[in-house]
Structure 1
């Protein structure tokens, strides 16, 4: 087993030992689908795509804006990354391990949401390729934002504070707390340029049988590249 694989497995074990993290990223999306499925009968109205979009977007936001930056900033604060510089294992392997675990959890969450929705009575995403593209770009864009927070936050507490601020701003403007149909037009326009808002709408479009709108995909790809490059340039190991 390679050093990278061992670190990824170790990070996965640490994640599984945190019941709150597992509940927020896997249990809560399932609870959202089941609870709304019991209350509201799925139908043809586009508002019904809000519920799977909510479950997926909420979990991705928790993973990328709360867990990822707090963990990595905590490793730096505790000197773990600095100490790895004295070993043959480069500290970047910890970062890669965290990304691998976060990506695996995100995929597992998406499978849970799709499967639960199908059991409850929701149709499968009407545009499968569009759904996969929206999910992958959405996850990458949000992870890149989380990595930038981890790159600039000197402590885990500050990373948590910044992540929570970004979390609530994205949730409010992105049509996650409240469906886009109930938001004023100016908030929808702002949400179109936010990673969570673009992800939410792209997932909803693909679930409803439409290919995600190009502007949303361009926004997600641009955020991934810009924030990803910025985090790579600014990330401090000490």
Structure 2
């Protein structure tokens, strides 16, 4: 445990010294502030089922932060450690590679949860509505985080080059941003696209967080795909498959 804590502190210090990563990570946080600061974005909007723009985009921006952490930051850093031989050398010390992986994933989870908390709380300071069911929302954030961290671990496992893994992760994250409705409102999706999006981790995670915080919003397909249980199952399925693939393919050298 002491080795894991020491590695966690070291990882946090190294992350703080990586300005490029921090710039990407702060984008959704700044976006949450900007949106909440716009008076019109704080008013109920019929196009978002009576939610304000600030409320409607809270799950989307949270998913953006989580996907950047899981699909870009995680494979980049893990790949760098493996490419530089750090994981191999770590085996000769009292701390094991498992200690490092535990500390590293704990830091990733902390980043995701911290970003989600910031994005959810910022609108309250501007008088915009926040999550109506914060505890349900917190659970949805954790389920979503697990799915994206599992996917990021798969990228770092099957792609040897950290730059390639990070680049592919960015491209994959972009598809999840579309599925979440970041660029085009999900309420305007045709039914077939809504179904496809709800089966993707980005769409399922965003809808899960939105439903957990505010109840069912427009843009949901009818039938089994519209059930919150289905969205939890989709996130869990991506997590389980990702962990299984990573365990079978990940190498420390």
1:53 to 46, 56, 59: 59
User: Shift of residue 71 of structure 1?
Assistant: 0.7
Q: Is the 8 A contact 2:136 2:212 kept in 1?
A: yes
TM-score normalised by structure 1 residue count: 0.92
Q: Is the 8 A contact 2:42 2:52 kept in 1?
A: no
User: Shift of residue 160 of structure 1?
Assistant: 1.4
Q: What is aligned with 1:111?
A: 117
Q: What is aligned with 2:136?
A: 130
The answer to whether structure 1 residue 62 and structure 2 residue 61 are counterparts is: no
The answer to whether structure 1 residue 215 and structure 2 residue 248 are counterparts is: no
Please list the CA deviations of residues 183-225 of structure 1 after superposition, one character each: whole Å capped at 9, or x if unmatched. Answer: 3332221111111111111112222245981111111111111
Secondary structure of the 2:245 match is: helix
| Superposition map of 1:35-50 within 5 A | 35-39=34-38, 40-44=40-44, 45-46=50-51, 48=53, 49-50=55-56
- 1:193 and 1:22 map into 2 onto residues whose CA distance is 30
Q: What is aligned with 1:33?
A: 32
The answer to whether structure 1 residue 232 and structure 2 residue 238 are counterparts is: no
Q: Is the 8 A contact 1:174 1:188 kept in 2?
A: no
1:101 to 107, 119, 144: 107
- 2:182 and 2:116 map into 1 onto residues whose CA distance is 16
- 1:28 and 1:68 map into 2 onto residues whose CA distance is 17
TM-score normalised by structure 2 residue count: 0.87
- 2:247 and 2:64 map into 1 onto residues whose CA distance is 25
The answer to whether structure 1 residue 15 and structure 2 residue 15 are counterparts is: yes
Q: 1:69 to 1:190 in 2, by over 3 A?
A: same
- 1:183 and 1:152 map into 2 onto residues whose CA distance is 33
Comparing 83-92 with 196-205, greater Cα deviation is found at 83-92
Q: 1:47 to 1:193 in 2, by over 3 A?
A: farther
Comparing 116-125 with 4-13, greater Cα deviation is found at 116-125
Comparing 66-75 with 128-137, greater Cα deviation is found at 128-137
**RMSD value, Cα:** 1.9
User: Shift of residue 47 of structure 1?
Assistant: 6.0
The answer to whether structure 1 residue 183 and structure 2 residue 189 are counterparts is: yes
Q: 1:68 to 1:29 in 2, by over 3 A?
A: same
Paired residues in the alignment total: 237
User: Shift of residue 33 of structure 1?
Assistant: 1.6
Q: What is aligned with 2:90?
A: 84
User: Shift of residue 92 of structure 1?
Assistant: 2.0
Q: What is aligned with 1:3?
A: 3
Q: Is the 8 A contact 1:144 1:228 kept in 2?
A: yes
